[in-house]
A and B are shown apart, each in its own frame.
Chain A
């Protein structure tokens, strides 16, 4: 891997008290027509921590991310993101809040008519008060982080699935957001590329200390995140020493029948007696 870019230990601006959670769902329910998708969901994502959300297809995992971003409104309950209740905010107010959140979409959702540079720089260009030189420097820094500096002038259609996912990570992290939301970042990728993506997520977590909420189908991805750390000396992801806790705590949240059936750490998950969860993690 290439040498990491100049490290900034924290997001540029922290807009909230460090003790309060970056994301908090309180008794959130949502139904689409007659189908109940989420029913009384409550959980917290403390600052600096990561949480992986599991569940079968259609269990509402991606919906949780869209609710956190305010892209969808719940039928009931409250959602606090960086201390603000997104359920009570107007769309215009949400645009300001969303600039502090990074989102990596399931299929990358890169703008196909823009080059990689323009995709990554999109948010910076929208700011209107950042010079071209500064934009260029930060785009190269973000692309260097995901090791795709050479793709700067290519269009998304010219990239492989894994490269698109890495560009999406660069686009989400270029403004150094306070919280990152990953929607199945390894979905549809081969095991080697999946490991590369997880390594980037671990690198982002350990280098920039960004809180994250990750939806995934692959339990092994979350286990890797819980049991590995990013070693800046070797510039590689390494297994944590046995018994040692990760610098950034990793928690698991499992959904079933529109409800949360598990919310805890890796050890609690391994020791659970719940038949469904045991079958799920086996």
Chain B
């Protein structure tokens, strides 16, 4: 492995952050100019949104069920098993729903975008697109960003709901809690700040997934090996960023809207 000086390393990282910021900025500004690629946005929304639906349904149901299963023992010690709906609903809507959906879509789509765009880079298709007078950021990146942000928002709502359903099934079947009591407790525990926090997060996560995936794809170098590397890096970087940004959004929302 080639060793590089710390200065060069730092320069490379700063350059990468700068390139990412430029790409992310242009992907947003390009949404408002002509030509607009509505057909590409719809196609990507189908790939990202509808394509991710089965895994989100499965993940939402199982996380909700496991949350109910694991918290029941502790709640029982305090004689508060009836609060299980409250715990599942607040946990799913504010934290687990957005994070699980974000991580699942990052694993599926950030890597997919990086490998698709990376393959186009190494086979000169991106250069060909530029040579044909079309801006690849406008044609390829902006539609992916718009559709990921839009679809992740709704996927998160679906995951939240299915998490509650999963928790409800476990509460009823294993702990014998009345369904009406479970849903009543779940509904009443949710405050505006919880729902708002839970719905702001997927907007940021969707933006991270698409821009990171596209950034690694567009900056692919070194043939098929480079495509593989870009795919892995996109998945890891977007997942880490989601976790970091999640912490700061939660902290910020607590400061602005007050703790639960």
Whether B3 is near chain A, meaning CB under 8 Å from some CB there, is no
Contacts of A69 in B (CB 8 A): 130-131
B125 within 8 A of A: yes
B127 touches A98 (CB 8 A): no
Instruction: Evaluate contact between A128 and B35: CB separation under 8 angstroms.
Output: yes
Q: Can you list, as one digit per residue, whether each of A94-128 has a CB less than 8 Å from chain B (1) or not (0)?
A: 11101101010111011110000000001100101
Contact with B along A48-81 (1 / 0, CB 8 A): 0000000000000000001001010000000000
Q: Which of B35, B125, B130, B133 contacts A111 (CB 8 A)?
A: B125
Q: Is A234 an interface residue (CB 8 A)?
A: no
Residues of A within 8 A of B133 (CB): 95-96, 98-99, 123, 126
| B127 x A105 contact (CB < 8 A) | yes
Give every chain B residue within 8 A of A110 (Cβ-Cβ). Answer: 125, 128
Give the nearest-CB partner of B134 in chain A: A126
**Complex formed: what's the CA distance from A71 to B120 in Å?**
15
Q: Determine the interface band of chain A, counting residues with CB < 8 A from chain B.
A: 20 to 34
- Chain A residues within an 8 Å CB radius of B135: 91-92, 95
CB <8 Å contact, B35 and A126 = yes
Judging by beta carbons under 8 Å apart, are A109 and B125 in contact? yes
Q: Is the pair B128, A126 in contact by a Cβ cutoff of 8 Å? A: no
Which residue of A91, A92, A109 is within 8 Å of B127 (Cβ)? Answer: A109
Q: Mark B93-130, 1 if CB is under 8 A from A, else 0.
A: 00000000000000000000000000010011101111
Chain B: CB-nearest residue to A181:
B131
Decide if A111 touches B128 in the complex (CB within 8 Å).
yes
The answer to whether B132 has its CB under 8 Å from any CB of chain A is yes
With A and B bound together, what is the CA distance between A171 and B135 in angstroms? Answer: 17
Query: A171 to chain B: which residues have CB within 8 Å?
Result: 132
Q: Nearest residue in A to B126 (C-beta to C-beta)?
A: A109
**B193: min CB distance to chain A, Å:** 43
Question: Nearest A residue to B36 by beta-carbon distance?
Answer: A128
Query: Cα distance A106–B123 when bound, in Å?
Result: 10
- Separation in Å of the B132 CB from the closest CB of chain A? 5
Q: What are 17 A-B contacts defined by CB distance under 8 Å? A: A95-B130, A99-B132, A101-B131, A105-B124, A105-B127, A105-B128, A105-B131, A109-B123, A110-B128, A111-B129, A112-B123, A112-B125, A122-B132, A122-B134, A123-B132, A126-B132, A126-B133
Top 9 A-B residue pairs of the complex, sorted by shortest distance between their CB atoms? A109-B128, A99-B133, A109-B124, A103-B131, A98-B133, A95-B133, A123-B132, A105-B124, A126-B134
Given pairs A99-B133, A105-B124, A126-B134, 18 additional interface contacts (CB within 8 A): A69-B130, A69-B131, A71-B127, A96-B133, A98-B132, A103-B128, A103-B131, A105-B127, A109-B124, A109-B125, A109-B127, A109-B128, A110-B125, A110-B128, A111-B120, A112-B123, A122-B134, A123-B133
